[in-house]
Structure 1
Amino acid sequence: MSSESFISNTLEITPRQTMRGHTGQVHGVAHLPGGRHSITCSLDGLLRLWDLESGAQIGEDWRDENDVWSIALSPNGKTVASGGGDRNVRLWDVEARKVTGKWAGHSDVVCSLCWSTGGNRVASGSWDGIARVWDVDSGKTILTIKTGHEWVYAVTYSPDSSKLATGGDEENAVKIWDAKTGKLVETLEHESKVLSLAWTLDGKKLVSGSNGPIRIFDTTTWQQIATLGGHIDFVTAISLSRNNRLLASVSNDRTARLWNLDTNLPVGPLIYHGEKAPSTVLSPDAKVLVTACEDNTYTWDVHAILREAGLEDLLPIGINITLKNR
């Protein structure tokens, strides 16, 4: 199916809010605790804090010295790590909105970041083909992994922080590493470069996004156990709900999708994004989806989509931060 006919068959869903202000492509989104605010980073060299209900920016821009390609929020929600074109990793105090640390070591763009569950380590992936593990207190590199990828597009800790998964090109694979020793544990081959990764919170499954179908692997056997078919271009970002039952994905085919991981089937109509989207994040209660694209960020009412499909039970229980309808 051509890209044009594919898009023409999608139903238009209106975004809940459109957050405008960046002047460069928005490459990362992170939800603050409570799910009512999010932080975005952009190639315009800015981080911005947003109110998801109103779509308004909160406070002044957080100014970096270079283009910002990736952000990740610490487990306690107090610190943001950012990476960009100047090859450095920065730490930002969320409340003060200022840089508190700057780590040097990579020799190319830092395009992926992930915190360990305990918040004492940050893993970074770079176009230099290296994954680094940093000690947060000292700011020192404590582990350097030469991944074999030409570019590392994605890096993520397992829920117990015992393993790191990296995704990239050259060898077109997901690689699993021992997070303490850097020893290669497993290689999961793909036909194309891997741009996105997500580990279920129970640690039992690893999800990867590449060109076309999304793949799901059993982390006990490292065998592929399911594919989610539908996207017709590279899947650039994926996000899992906290109960591991709902998955969101965005793709260079200019759409976002929701997936029921109980059945591995899509939920609701396609969300036509209009542009290639490099980032997406579900809110903690999974009722709101944030997607980022050229210079705008959008919020989508996932709760309404699930309600229309009769699948509200896919939402996590005991988390409720629903934004008011406007």
Structure 2
Amino acid sequence: MPAITPRQAMHGHTSQILDIVHLPGRQRIIACSADGSLRLWDLENDAQIGDAWRDEGHNADVKNIALSPNSQTVASGSEGGTVRLWDVKTGKVIARWIGHTEHVGSVCWSGDGEQVVSGSWDGTARVWDVKTGKTVLEIKNGHQYVWAVTYSPDNTKFATGGENENTIKIWDAKAGKLLSTLHQDQSVRSLAWTSDGKKLFSGSLGPIGIFDTDTWEQIAVLEGHIFNLSLARNDCLLASTSIWDETVCLWNLNTNLPVCPLFQHNKDVSCLAFSADGKLLVTACEDNNVYLWDIHAILKEAGLEDLLSIPDVSLIRQ
């Protein structure tokens, strides 16, 4: 295949973009940045919608964001330890949760939208009750920095990954009991659970690991690409970033092999996210821009359109 190029680019953030989420319908995304803002983008016309979202009086890095299951609220983790909730319609902060003493490295909603788990550089994970804003569970998990947290699809467990012990830890979501410890050679920076809950993917400063969640044994390794991950909801495609060569790799999870040439950027790629149907991928790199990639067109040219098939349409929110 010829070199892969983005369909379009979006400019506006004044510092590095650190996380991205898609809104339903494949037409809008929200990005957060080290410039202290969130911004809403229209993918159809490459334009920012409205003003940047800011919490008045606070300009700290917004390190990560997560969209609620009903798509009405965004949770964010920031430099300084605050978790915030933002109303998607207004772009305003509707809640601030104080408890972490260092930067919040990751946030994730439970599937029912009633709780948010956050991981922090203070070495803890906290589970928050969305209605009350109270911490209902605090876990000191042994990581110096918690880089990644993610709920299992059935909400009974969540996984944390971090630095120092270089492990993934699996926790009972209600009791906070440690269920399993998965060892990695390098610090764990990102985690992704398949929609059926049968596999867990880890991105680190080493190869991508794939774990069987029944046995917690590592069953496969994807060599040569590391760091941040985005898993398509049909569990057939994985996108990963590399801090070594400024690229994104698209993986066929039926074969565990790359699908096409690498997506080249001009600087390190900081984050990426699939649309709900997997047909679009957005990436951001240290040039402060967002790039849109037409995955459907790329797979069609490669003769691999079947990788976008959706076994269960209920998995996709439109």
* TM-score, scaled relative to structure 2: 0.94
How far apart, in 2, do the equivalents of 1:205 and 1:122 lie?
A: 22
Does the residue aligned with 1:248 lie in a helix, a strand or coil?
strand
- On the 8 A contact 1:286/1:316 being kept in 2, the answer is no
Instruction: Choose which of 203, 210, 220 in structure 1 pairs with 2:197.
Output: 203
- On the 8 A contact 2:185/2:206 being kept in 1, the answer is no
1:167-211 deviation digits (Å, cap 9, x = unpaired)? 101000111111111111111101110001000000000000112
The corresponding residue for 1:177 is: 171
Matching of residue 230 in structure 1 with residue 221 in structure 2: no
How far apart, in 1, do the equivalents of 2:115 and 2:205 lie?
A: 30
How far apart, in 2, do the equivalents of 1:179 and 1:292 lie?
A: 32
Matching of residue 105 in structure 1 with residue 99 in structure 2: yes
Instruction: Choose which of 263, 277, 284 in structure 2 pairs with 1:285.
Output: 277
Matching of residue 160 in structure 1 with residue 160 in structure 2: no
Counterpart AA for 1:123: V
How far apart, in 2, do the equivalents of 1:212 and 1:313 lie?
A: 30
Query: Structure 1's 11 and 271: CA in aligned 2 closer, same or farther, altered over 3 A?
Result: farther
Counterpart AA for 2:271: S
Does the residue aligned with 2:144 lie in a helix, a strand or coil?
coil
Structure 2 gaps of 5+ residues are: none
How far apart, in 1, do the equivalents of 2:54 and 2:117 lie?
A: 23
Instruction: Choose which of 228, 233, 243 in structure 2 pairs with 1:242.
Output: 233
How far apart, in 2, do the equivalents of 1:155 and 1:282 lie?
A: 18
Counterpart AA for 2:6: P
Identity of aligned residues (%): 61
The alignment of Structure 1 onto Structure 2 pairs a total of residues equal to: 308
How far is the alpha carbon of 1:53 from its aligned partner? 2.0
Counterpart AA for 2:89: E
- On the 8 A contact 1:241/1:316 being kept in 2, the answer is no
How far apart, in 1, do the equivalents of 2:106 and 2:309 lie?
A: 27
The corresponding residue for 1:6 is: none
* TM-score, scaled relative to structure 1: 0.92
The corresponding residue for 2:115 is: 121
Counterpart AA for 1:104: I
- On the 8 A contact 1:172/1:193 being kept in 2, the answer is yes
How far apart, in 1, do the equivalents of 2:168 and 2:50 lie?
A: 39
How far is the alpha carbon of 1:277 from its aligned partner? 1.6
Does the residue aligned with 2:154 lie in a helix, a strand or coil?
coil
- On the 8 A contact 1:155/1:197 being kept in 2, the answer is yes
Does the residue aligned with 1:13 lie in a helix, a strand or coil?
coil
